[in-house]
Chain A
Amino acid sequence: GENVEQHPSTLSVQEGDSAVIKCTYSDSASNYFPWYKQELGKGPQLIIDIRSNVGEKKDQRIAVTLNKTAKHFSLHITETQPEDSAVYFCAASRGRALTFGSGTRLQVQP
């Protein structure tokens, strides 16, 4: 089955800096890659997603890039703010359900 690895497990940045989280996947048939943000004690919130026919997607301060050949995708957050502090999960799917990475705890220092 699919296996998704996520790095780093924790990330601390200064407010205003950029943050990058990387994921690799094992199943070359996977074609959908979402990113979720989870705040303490809450359910994950979908923040951006990308499909395999696209190499990059942006939404304001958030962007995701996909390299199908290398089977990895990344989340980029620019101009980080304290409210960006949360756990971020990547996931991959090939038409059934999602396989999640283990999460990255992002801490934005004011």
Chain B
Amino acid sequence: DGGITQSPKYLFRKEGQNVTLSCEQNLNHDAMYWYRQDPGQGLRLIYYSQIVNDFQKGDIAEGYSVSREKKESFPLTVTSAQKNPTAFYLCASSIVPNGETQYFGPGTRLLVL
């Protein structure tokens, strides 16, 4: 059963804590993306990776970090430097690295305690 999985579905962060959101795909897609969605708003690009061991900053990368050590995995760390982390985080992948035909995972909702 192919697709994109994100875990956990809900995540709680305490003040000063780093948390890591998981994104895995078994579609053999080259490119992967992280977006942030705030209530009533569109998606904003955090980071993207067009190939293993390479990634680029998106429009709102401050306070976030990523790694791409394996083709199927693209974890996102929300660091303590991100002062307003409460949001819905969406991971996507595409078969080619030009941003077209992206498929999304189910999302992780991050809440601050």
Interface residues of A (CB under 8 A from B): 1, 4, 6, 32, 34, 36, 41-46, 49, 89, 93, 95-103
* B61 CB to nearest A CB, Å: 12
| B45 at the A interface (CB under 8 A) | yes
Residues of the A chain whose Cβ atoms lie less than 8 Å from the Cβ of B4? 43
* A74 CB to nearest B CB, Å: 17
Contact string against A for B residues 96-113, beta-carbon threshold 8 Å, 1 for contact and 0 otherwise: 001111111111000000
Interface residues of B, CB < 8 Å — how many?
25
Given contacts A96-B48, A97-B45, A98-B45, A46 and B103 within 8 Å (CB-CB): yes
Task: Count A-B pairs with CB separation below 8 Å.
Answer: 62
* B29 CB to nearest A CB, Å: 13
| B42 at the A interface (CB under 8 A) | yes
Minimum CB distance partner of B4 in chain A: A43
A97 interface neighbour in B6, B40, B99, B103, Cβ under 8 Å: B99
